[in-house]
Amino acid sequence: MAKKLYVGGLSYNTTEATLRQAFEAAGTVESATIIIDKMTNRSKGFGFVEMSSDEEAAKAIEMFNGKDLDGRNVTVNEARPMAPRDNR
């Protein structure tokens, strides 16, 4: 089963392709997504990487948490489910 990881502190220059390429060093990447601000069409500085197994996810956390990626130290941990939000 795939394991979703949160990746925070990303450089605004990091693309989904470079994020995927970096995390492939830890194993098979199912998906790599950077969250984009709808108003500015610019990265919000965080994203999600889905690894194909729990072991590969643990390896990715160990390899990248607190390490440099595109000039920024990133935070990598297991993604939590999105909290419910009020309708605006």
pLDDT tens column, 20-62? 999 999 999 999 999 999 999 999 999 999 999 999 999 999 9
Residue 87 lies in a domain: no
Let me know if residue 83 belongs to a domain: no
Q: How far from the centroid of its chain's Cα atoms is residue 19's Cα?
A: 7
Q: Is the model's pLDDT at 1 over the cut of 80?
A: no
Q: What are the Cα distances from residue 48, in Å, to 31, 43, 82?
A: 8, 12, 12
Q: Which domain, by its residues, includes 38?
A: 3-78
Q: Domain count of the chain?
A: 1
- Check if the beta carbon of residue 64 is closer than 8 Å to that of residue 26: yes
Please report whether residue 58 resides in a domain: yes
Give a yes or no: residue 9 inside a domain.
yes
Q: What is the pTM of this model?
A: 0.90
